[in-house]
Structure 1
Amino acid sequence: MLPLIDIVVIIVYLIGMLVIGYVSGKDNETQEDYLLAGRSMPWLPISLSITATMISANALIGGPGWAYTSGMKPFMVNITVPLAVFFAVYVTAPVIYHLRVTSIYEYMEFRLGGFTRNLTVAQFFINSLIQVSSMVFIPSLILQTITGWSIVVIVPIIVLISIIYTLLGGIKAVIWTDTVQTLVVISAVILSIYIPLKYLNLSFFDTLDIAKAAGKFNTLDFTFDLNTENTFYAAIFGGTIMWSRYFCFDQAQIQRILTAKSIKGVKRSLTSSAILMNVMYYFMLLIGLFLWVFYDGKPFENSNQVMINFIIDKVPVGITGLIIAGTFAAAMSSVDSLLNSMTTVFIKDIYEKYFYKEKDEVSLKTTMTISSILGIIIIFIVIFAFGNTVKSVLDIVGKYISYFTGPACAAFILAMFTKKANDKGVASGFVLGFISSYFLINQLKTFWLWNSAIGCLITFILGYGFSFIFKNDKTLEEISNYTAMGMRKYLIKNNDLQEDGASIVPFKLDKYGIIILGFFLLQFVILALLS
C-alpha cells in the first residue's frame, strides 16, 4: 500500500487536471471552440501538447525497459521524427492550414473522394484505439503491482478521469493539461536518473562509461537486414514513413496545429516539439541504462517491470507519488489528445456526413456523448488486448500499427503530390496494398519498423496504377487546387506569401525547416561520438 504522502501527491495532481479542464473550457460555446479552441492558441502550449501526446507512459516505463535489454538502439525508432516534422513544416502543414479544415480526412474527400476518405478514417480509428489503449495499460500495470487491484477495476478509473476533464474543456483543456503534464513528466525523468545515481554512488559520466564499456551505446547499426531490430536503414526508410504519417497526416497531431493563431505559431510549435520530443525520449531510454548498471544487468521476466520494480523498491516516499503522477501525466496526456481527436473525426467524417441532417453544427452535448462512448470502448480494448503482454509495450504497439501506417501514408502522398491519383484508384490501391503488404511482411518476418516502408511502396504503386484504370470524377483544376504544388502556384500567383511574418507557401525553406534539419543531422553526430 502506498504511503499517505504519495497518495496525496497523486490525488492533488488528478484534482489539478480536473480544475484546469474546467477553467480552460468554461467559455466554450461552439463546436469550433470545443474542437479547435477557436483557432486562438499560443504556440508554446501547442508545442508541449504535441510533445505530451508523443511521449506517453509507454515511453516513460516501456522505454527504460526496452533500453535495459537492447541498449540505446531503440532510439533509432524515433531518430527520423525531426525529418518527418520537417516535411510537415516544409510542405503539408501550410497546405492543411490554408484549407481551414477541422479534420485532416476532409482534405481527402476534397482532393480524391469519399472512398479514400472513409478508408483513411478507418485506419485512424484502428491506430488510435491501439495507441490510446496501450497508454492506459502502463499506469494500470503500476497500480496493479502496487495495490493488488485488478486491471478490471483500475482501467475504468483512469479512463473516466481522462474523459471528465476532456469533456469539461475540449481541446483547450487537452492542450493546457498537456502543458502541465509535460512538465511533470520532465520532473519524473530527472528524478528517475538522479535516484539510481544516488544509490550507486557514481557520477553521471562514470555510469555512462560502464554502460558504454558493455556496448550499450552501440546505436548505429548499418546492417541491411530486414529482420534485425532498429537498424539505420530500417529507421531511415521505415521510420520516416511511419512518422510522416503521424506528423503530416494524422488527426491527433494535425488538430493541435489547427488551433494555432497563425502559420508562424504552427511552425514554431512543430519545430520546438521535434527537438523536445527526441531529447526527452533519449533521456527516457538513458534511464534504462542507469537501471541496467544499478541492477547489474539481472534479467526481468517482463521488460515493463524494470522501471516499475525500481519505483516500488527504491524510490523514496513522496518521490514515488511524483513519479507515479508523472506516469499518469504521460498516459493521460495521450489519452485526452487521442480521445478528442477521435471525437472530432467521428463527428466531422462520420456523424455529420452520414447521420446528422440539421444545417447547424452538432451540439456540445452530442459531442460530449460521443467522447464518453469512445472512452468506454477504450476500457474494453485495454483489458482484452494488453493484459498479458510480457514484451515492451513500445515494441508491441509499434508492430500493431505498422501494418496500417504505410498504406495510409501512401494514400496521402498520392493525393497531395500527384495529379493522376483518383478516388477509386487510390482506394483500390489502399485495400490491396494493405492485404498484399501484410502477407509479404509476415512471409519475410521483417522487423516492424520496415513494415511502413513496404506498405507505403506497394500501396503507392498500386494506387497510382489503378488511377489509370478508373475514371476521375474531378476536373484538373479541382485537383490542382488541392495538391501541394498547385497550392504553391496559386498562392504565389495571388501574392499571398506570408502570415504574421512566416511563409505560408508549400516548398518554401525557411529558418524553421533549417533548424529541424540541423537537429536531425546533429543526432547522428552525437550517436556516432557516443558509440
Structure 2
Amino acid sequence: MKGLPIIDLAVIFIYLVGMILVGVYFSRNNKNSEQFTKASGLIPGWAIGLSIYATFLSSNTFLGVPGKAFGSNWNAFVFSISMPLAAWIASKYFVPFYRSSGEISAYTHLEHRFGAWARVYAVVCFLLTQLARMGSIFFGIALSLQALTGYSMQMIMIVMGICIIFYTVLGGIEAVIWTEVVQAIVKTFGALLILYLIISNMPGGASKVVEIGRAANKFSLGSFKPEFISSSFWVVLLYGFFINLNNFGMDQNYVQRYHTASSSKAASKSIWLCVWLYIPASLLFFIIGSCLFAYYEVNPDLVQSIKHQVAIERLPVNASAAEILNLERSLQPADYGDKIMPHFMVTKIPVGLVGLIVSAILSAAMSTISSGMNASATVFSVDIYKRYIKPDITEKQNLSLLHIATVAFGVFGMIAGIAMIGVKSILDVWWELSGIFAAGMLGLFLLGIISKRTKNHEAITATIIGIAVIIWMTFSNLLPPEYEAFRNPLHKNMIIVVGTLTIFLVGLLLSKIKKKSLKTSE
C-alpha cells in the first residue's frame, strides 16, 4: 500500500493482525464440527445481534448506499423501513422452528417436507446468493482501496481474501461472531467520522447540505403512486420485506447464528437488536451520500478527476481527448456514485484518520465475507457431502472438510468479485442478483411452513412454474424490439416478490384442486 502514509499503513496493519489473532485465539476451541458451526450454543444474544448487524452493514452499505444517495435519493432507505415486520415474523415463527428442529442447516427440513429435490434446489439458490454477495463485497472493497493505493483490484481482492480465509478457517463461527462484534463498532465509528469530516469541510455546514438536498430532491423516498414499473416507494418496500424475510427466515448466515444462542429468547432478541441498530446506521450512510452530493455541488471542480477516470474506463484505449472530454461533460452523479466515497477519502481525510476509515471499510467487507464462507461451508458439508457423497464421514474428516470448503468458497467469492469489475452500481447489482436467487427458495420455504396440505408433486410443479416466471422476468428485456409486448413490464426488484408469490400461490391452488378432486372421487 505504497500510496498511504506510514501511520495509516500501521493502523491498517494492526487491524488486520488483530483479526488474524482472533482466529488464532479461537482455533484452540475448534476441535470438532459442532464447535466450528455452532460454537456449542454458548454465544450471548447481544453478541449475536451485533454479529447479524455487522453482516447487514457490509461494504455494499458502506460504499454502495452513499453512492446511491449521491447519484439519486433516499429511495433505497425504504429497504430498511421494511425490516421490522420481517423481523417480527422471524422472531415469532422462524426462530422457534429452527431451534426445535435442532438441524444446523436451514434446508434439511425441506427434504423432510417435500423430498431431496427441494433441499438441493434451496442449497443451490443459497450458494449462488452467497457467491453474488461475496463477489459484490470483494469488488466494493477493491474499488475503495484501489483509489487509495493504486494497486490493481485483482491484487487487493486476493490479499484481502487470504486474510479473511485465514481467520475464518482457524476460528470457525465463534471467531466470525466475535470479530463481527468488533467490526460492528469499528465500522459505525468510521461512518460517524466520515460524516463529521464532510460537514466540517462543507461551507455553510449542515444547513447548506439540507438546502442543496431539498433543491435537488435528494431526500425523497420515491414515488408513492401505486405503480411497480419504476423504483417506487412500494417496489422497494415489497422488495425489502421479501429479502429480509428470506434473510431472517432461511439464509444460513442468520439461521446458523440462532443455534449459537443459549435459548430461543436470546436468538429472537438478537434479531431485534440487529434491526434497531441497522435502521439508524443505514440512515447515517444515506445522510453521508447526501452530504457528499452537497459538498461536490459547492466544489464541482473537485469531482473532475473522477469524471475523467470514468470516461477513460468507458471509452476505447485509442479514444481522443475530445471524445473523453465530451463524455466527461455528459456524466451524471449516478454514473460515478460508487467512486465518490473513496475519492473524498483520498483527497480530504487527514493523514492518520485514513487508516481508521480504511479499517472500517475493511471490517464492513470482512464481516460479511467471513460469515458467508462459514455458512456456505456448513451447507456444503451437511446438505451435499454428508447427504450424497459420504454419509458415514468421521468427525475428524468432517472438520477437515469444513476447513477445505471454507477456503474454496473464499476463492470462489474472489473470482466472483473479479468478474464484477466494471459494474455501474454495487448496490444495484447485489439487489438484482439476490432477488433472482432468493425468490425461488423463499416461495418454497413459505409453502412448506404455511401449507400443511401441499405435498411433493404440488410443490415441484409450483417451483417449476415459479422458476419459469423468474427466468422470464430476468431475461425478457433481452427480447428483440418486435417482441416488446412479451417483456417484463415490472421493475427488476419485483422479481423476488412475483417469484415468491408465484410458487407459494400456485402451490396452494394445486393443493386445493387436488383436495377437491379427491372429495369428488370419493
**Percent identical:** 29
Please point out which of 390, 406, 421 is paired with 1:371: 406
Does the 8 Å CA contact 2:473/2:495 hold for their aligned counterparts? no
Please point out which of 207, 210, 213 is paired with 1:211: 213
1:183-214, CA deviations, whole angstroms, 9 ceiling, x for partnerless residues? 11011110110001111144435533442343
Does the 8 Å CA contact 2:37/2:173 hold for their aligned counterparts? yes
The answer for unaligned runs of 5 or more in structure 1 is 472-531
Q: Aligned letter for 2:134?
A: V
Q: 1:24: how far off? A: 2.4
Structure-1 separation of matches of 2:514 and 2:164: 45
Aligned to 1:350: 384
Does the 8 Å CA contact 2:43/2:261 hold for their aligned counterparts? yes
Aligned to 2:433: 400
Moved more, 430-439 or 372-381: 430-439
1:470-492, CA deviations, whole angstroms, 9 ceiling, x for partnerless residues? 99xxxxxxxxxxxxxxxxxxxxx
Aligned to 1:464: 508
1:28-68, CA deviations, whole angstroms, 9 ceiling, x for partnerless residues? 22111000100110011101110111110111011101001
Aligned to 2:174: 172
Structure-2 separation of matches of 1:18 and 1:469: 57
Structure-1 separation of matches of 2:159 and 2:86: 35
Does the 8 Å CA contact 1:115/1:424 hold for their aligned counterparts? no
Q: 1:469: how far off? A: 8.3
Moved more, 208-217 or 284-293: 208-217
Kindly indicate whether residue 481 of structure 2 is the aligned counterpart of residue 448 of structure 1. Answer: no
Structure-2 separation of matches of 1:302 and 1:200: 20
Aligned to 2:269: 268
Q: Aligned letter for 1:423?
A: N
Please point out which of 13, 22, 25 is paired with 2:15: 13
Aligned to 1:523: none
1:349-370, CA deviations, whole angstroms, 9 ceiling, x for partnerless residues? 0000011142643432221011
1:91-490 alignment runs, 5 A limit: 91-219=93-221, 221-229=223-231, 231-296=232-297, 299-300=332-333, 301-358=335-392, 360-361=394-395, 362-384=397-419, 386-390=420-424, 392-440=425-473, 442=476, 443-467=487-511
Structure-1 separation of matches of 2:463 and 2:437: 10
Does the 8 Å CA contact 2:74/2:222 hold for their aligned counterparts? no
Does the 8 Å CA contact 2:142/2:154 hold for their aligned counterparts? no
Structure-2 separation of matches of 1:469 and 1:31: 45
TM-score norm. by structure 1 comes to: 0.85
Q: Aligned letter for 2:287?
A: L
Structure-1 separation of matches of 2:473 and 2:28: 51
Q: 1:220: how far off? A: 5.1
Moved more, 83-92 or 233-242: 233-242
Q: Summarize the Cα distance change of 1:445–1:13 in structure 2 as closer, same or farther, 3 Å threshold.
A: farther
The answer for unaligned runs of 5 or more in structure 2 is 301-331, 477-486, 516-522
1:483-519, CA deviations, whole angstroms, 9 ceiling, x for partnerless residues? xxxxxxxxxxxxxxxxxxxxxxxxxxxxxxxxxxxxx
Q: Aligned letter for 1:57?
A: S
2:337 is paired with a residue whose SS is coil
Structure-1 separation of matches of 2:227 and 2:38: 44
Does the 8 Å CA contact 1:227/1:446 hold for their aligned counterparts? yes
Q: Aligned letter for 2:114?
A: L
Aligned to 2:31: 29
Structure-1 separation of matches of 2:203 and 2:224: 36
Aligned to 1:503: none
Q: Aligned letter for 1:286?
A: I
Q: Summarize the Cα distance change of 1:93–1:388 in structure 2 as closer, same or farther, 3 Å threshold.
A: same
Structure-2 separation of matches of 1:265 and 1:32: 19
Structure-2 separation of matches of 1:292 and 1:152: 29
Does the 8 Å CA contact 1:52/1:181 hold for their aligned counterparts? yes
Q: Summarize the Cα distance change of 1:205–1:273 in structure 2 as closer, same or farther, 3 Å threshold.
A: farther
Q: Aligned letter for 1:254?
A: V
Aligned to 2:304: none
Q: Normalized per residue, which structure has more helix? A: 2
Q: State the aligned residue count.
A: 468
TM-score norm. by structure 2 comes to: 0.86
Structure-2 separation of matches of 1:404 and 1:155: 24
Q: 1:420: how far off? A: 1.5
